[in-house]
Amino acid sequence: MRAPLATLPFWATALWLPVAVAAPAEPDWAAAGAETARLLSAYLQVDTTAPPGGELAGARHLAEVLAADGILAEVDEFAPGRANLVARLPARRPSGAGAVCLLSHIDVVTAVPARWDHPPLSGHIDADGVVWGRGALDMKGMGAVELEVLLLLARQGVELDRDVVLLAVADEEVDNQGILRAISRWEQIGCTHAVNEGGVGIQDMFFEGQVVFPISVGEKGYVWGQVVAEGEPGHGSTPIPDRAPERLVRAWEALAAHDPKPHWDPALITLLDAVGAQRGGLPGFILQRPALVRLLLRRKLMGNPLTRAVLTDTIHVTGFSGAEMPNVVPAEVRANVDARILPGTTPDQHIAVINELLDDLEGVRFELRSTTPGGSSPVDDPFYAALAAQLEAEGAQIAVGPAISPGFTDSIHLRRIGVHAYGLVPFILTEEELRTMHGDNERVSTTNLERGVRVLYRALIALAGPK
């Protein structure tokens, strides 16, 4: 047992006082980028296509990479072939602060090999250092970046004051069972903060030459269901008005005509302010004044489907079913509805809007499938600040700000248990590169992988490294 400080001589007490710890020299970023490209190439070759997923193979692969550096990892198989990976780098100078999770998902979506220039499971690295494969952007690329960052923190012997946890989960693309499994064990994982997929740097998003990094601080929730239309069945040879298909068309028209008012979330206003501050001039003057944004840019922002989805609660008919034979008018037909709600709108409120739009239509009803409310994390947070600062340090033409994502990721479940989750993939992409996500020829450059490692490593040093 240690003696009380008051009983020790002065020279001895000095040994017990906190001392400043110098930060280690930064890694060789070019070498780190090249290593990340090799790690990603091998990871892409592990088939974790969902369905069926097969994430157990991906989790075991990551565990083997970590083991080669002496880092133990747990592979948690919660269903046949479905597994999460958890690896922890413990704090060397614990401060009592909660752990930080580097979160990614192991599963990837399907691909059509005949449409690709290089096979989607090849992990091909071309002469320009571009890594090709399904998942290069969504989201094995970020998973490889997070893996490399954990390896570098361990190799550099960084005196962390909080644990850093690598968490790679299954089933993000379909049912989110991986993150729900992790949440059921969250007392052991112990993360108060997480970085996950989300905003990427978009080249020329608002102005030519400018890169905008929207860091996802929140995500829209959803109301999923079906519009059901019923009517008298009959033969297709004789058109008779007001049967089920015609009623469904009227329902679709009523939902499509819905014109909600924009909701100016503070995150959007802050992002536009950052864009304006970087841009300067008259555009910058306007963007830094919320009243002018609402007055002058409302029509333009509401006229773009992407920004309209950020500003409003949406109702989207995504498909139809019920008619099997061309010469038979069915008694019932259905339309799938994917409705998204901003943080602050409850599922019940949006269901009421849908029902009101359909209320006057005979033989039509809305059947609910499932709901999840939206959620957000605070912008006034040291982890958000560290991520934003490191992005801004990457170049003079970069604007960084918070954003509410129109889609959702595993982060939506973490926010429900109080985790401060931020969506960021520190890559700078063109519009053409963005389209390869879930599309053909998905790929990421070694330059982007190096940038991702540098930004995330430095952010963690700023948050949890030597002070």
Q: Give the tens place of pLDDT for each residue, 223-232.
A: 999 999 999 9
Share of the chain above pLDDT 70, in %: 95
DSSP assigned state of 108: B
Report the candidate in 452, 349, 343 with the shortest Cα–Cα distance to residue 408.
343
Assign domain 221-372 one CATH number from 3.40.50.720, 3.40.50.11030, 3.40.50.2300, 3.30.70.360: 3.30.70.360
| Helix, strand, coil content of the chain in percent (nearest 5) | 35, 25, 35
pLDDT at 414 over 80: yes
Extended strands (E) in 19-141: 73-79, 82-89, 99-105, 130-132
pLDDT at 251 over 60: yes
pLDDT digits 0-9 by tens, 351-399: 999 999 999 999 999 999 999 999 999 999 999 999 999 999 999 999 9
pLDDT at 5 over 80: no
Average pLDDT over residues 398-407: 96
H or E element at residue 10:
helix 10-13
How many CA atoms does the CB half-sphere of 312 hold within 13 Å? 20
pLDDT at 437 over 70: yes
Q: Which pLDDT score is estimated for 23?
A: 67
What gap in Å lies between CA 379 and CA 217, rounded to an integer? 7
Rounded (5°) CA angle 227-232-236: 100
Residue 197 and residue 423 in contact, taking contact as beta carbons nearer than 8 Å: yes
450, 378, 278, 283 alpha-carbon torsion, rounded to 10°:
140
**pTM of the shown model:** 0.91
* Helices 244-256 and 347-358, packing angle to 10 deg: 130
pLDDT at 20 over 70: no
Q: Which pLDDT score is estimated for 70?
A: 97
Pairing outcome for strands 191-203 and 420-429: parallel
Instruction: Give the chain's mean pLDDT.
Output: 94
Query: What is the torsional sign of CA 68, 69, 72, 78?
Result: negative
Report the candidate in 162, 164, 149 with the shortest Cα–Cα distance to residue 194.
164
DSSP assigned state of 391: H
Range from 3-12, 192-201, 293-302 carrying the lowest mean pLDDT:
3-12
Average pLDDT over residues 300-326: 94
Q: Which pLDDT score is estimated for 25?
A: 85
pLDDT digits 0-9 by tens, 282-301: 999 999 999 999 999 999 99
Q: How many CB atoms lie within 10 A of CB 320?
A: 16
Q: In what order do the strands lie in the sheet with 364-372?
A: 314-321, 332-341, 221-230, 364-372
Q: Which pLDDT score is estimated for 10?
A: 29
Q: What is the CATH number of domain 24-204+378-464?
A: 3.40.630.10
Q: Which pLDDT score is estimated for 22?
A: 66
Report the candidate in 26, 178, 168 with the shortest Cα–Cα distance to residue 101.
168
Average pLDDT over residues 20-37: 87
Q: Which pLDDT score is estimated for 352?
A: 98
SS3 193: strand
Please report, as a single letter, which amino acid is at residue 452. Answer: G
Cβ partners under 8 Å of residue 282, min gap 6: none
- Residue 354 CA, chain-centre distance (Å), reads 27
Domain boundaries, the chain: 24-204+378-464, 221-372
Q: For the purposes of burial, counting CB atoms within 10 Å of the CB of 173, is it exposed (0-12), middle (13-18) or buried (19 or more)?
A: buried
pLDDT digits 0-9 by tens, 34-61: 999 999 999 999 999 999 999 999 999 9
Q: Which pLDDT score is estimated for 21?
A: 58
pLDDT at 279 over 70: yes
